[in-house]
Chain A
Amino acid sequence: EAGVAQSPRYKIIEKRQSVAFWCNPISGHATLYWYQQILGQGPKLLIQFQNNGVVDDSQLPKDRFSAERLKGVDSTLKIQPAKLEDSAVYLCASSLATGHSNTEAFFGQGTRLTVV
């Protein structure tokens, strides 16, 4: 089966600019996650969707980050304006998980963002 697709793979922007990342999850996966992975650290959850509803966005810096999952499939994550500390790899993952089942998350290749 096709995996989680993310684009772009790499992005370099200047601080205060905006940037958007796109994710296409595995077909049929209800749950979609966006993680931020700073160099040398583990992935940190930014936002979790189940279908097109937000389950958890407690660690999303809402003053600059936004995400949406239209029609419960693809998702976009936006940063506006970007700061130097936003330099990281942004990972998208999806899973079959619903409120009544457990399953693992499958990850995309990630988008490496460099803010200069």
Chain B
Amino acid sequence: AQSVSQHNHHVILSEAASLELGCNYSYGGTVNLFWYVQYPGQHLQLLLKYFSGDPLVKGIKGFEAEFIKSKFSFNLRKPSVQWSDTAEYFCAASYSSASKIIFGSGTRLSIRP
């Protein structure tokens, strides 16, 4: 079955630390990949997306993700986190155009000021 796995349930970092959140997806066919963020009390918002082309994708607020097909991975990175990055981060995938979007279980990121 198609699935998305996020390795870290809760990550705690200090401000200015570097961030990498893991995401793996199942299935080897064509895949569209997303990272969504949910700030406290707010709705899910798109951070970045990958459909095709350059596997290094840049998103909003200094986030980027790299699609590595051989590893079925789409890890999220940020070189220096801020307290305002405290949120829940969800990796998601869809396996063809207009197909359902499947979410991982999420990673809660806490930033110590």
Residues of A within 8 A of B (CB): 3, 31, 33, 35, 40-45, 48, 50, 55-56, 91, 93, 97-102, 104-110
Q: A56-B100, A98-B97 are in contact. Are A108 and B43 (CB under 8 A)?
A: yes
- Contacts A104-B34, A104-B49 given: A42-B97 contact, CB under 8 Å? no
The CA of A50 and the CA of B99, in the complex, are separated in Å by: 10
Interface size on B, residues (CB 8 A): 25
**Residues of chain A lying within 8 A (CB to CB) of residue B4:** 42
Within 8 Å by CB of B100, from A33, A101, A102, A107, lies: A33
Residue of A nearest to B97 (CB): A102
B102 at the interface (CB under 8 A from A): yes
Residues of B within 8 A of A105 (CB): 101
A113 to B42, CA, bound (A): 16
A99 touches B44 (CB 8 A): no
Residues of A within 8 A of B90 (CB): 42-43
Most buried by B among A33, A42, A106: A42
Nearest CB on B from A110, distance (A) = 7
Which of the residues A44, A99, A106 comes within 8 Å of B97, measured between beta carbons? A99
In contact, A48 and B100 (Cβ under 8 angstroms): yes
> Mind listing 6 A-B residue pairs with CB under 8 Å?
A31-B98, A42-B106, A93-B44, A98-B97, A101-B98, A102-B97
> Are B103 and A98 in contact (CB-based, < 8 A)?
no
The answer on a CB contact under 8 Å between A42 and B98 is: no
Question: Is the Cβ of A50 less than 8 Å from the Cβ of B43?
Answer: no
Give the complex CA separation of A110 and B14 in angstroms. Answer: 31
Across the A-B interface, give the 7 residue pairs with the lowest CB-CB distance, nearest first: A42-B103, A107-B44, A97-B98, A42-B105, A43-B103, A109-B43, A102-B97
Complex Cα distance, B98 from A97, in Å, reads 5
Q: Mark B1-34, 1 if CB is under 8 A from A, else 0.
A: 0001010000000000000000000000000101
* Bound complex: CA A42 to CA B5 (Å): 10
> B51 within 8 Å of A by Cβ?
yes
Q: Is the CB of B106 within 8 A of A41?
A: yes
Q: Which of B78-112 contact A (CB under 8 A)?
A: 90, 92, 94, 97-106
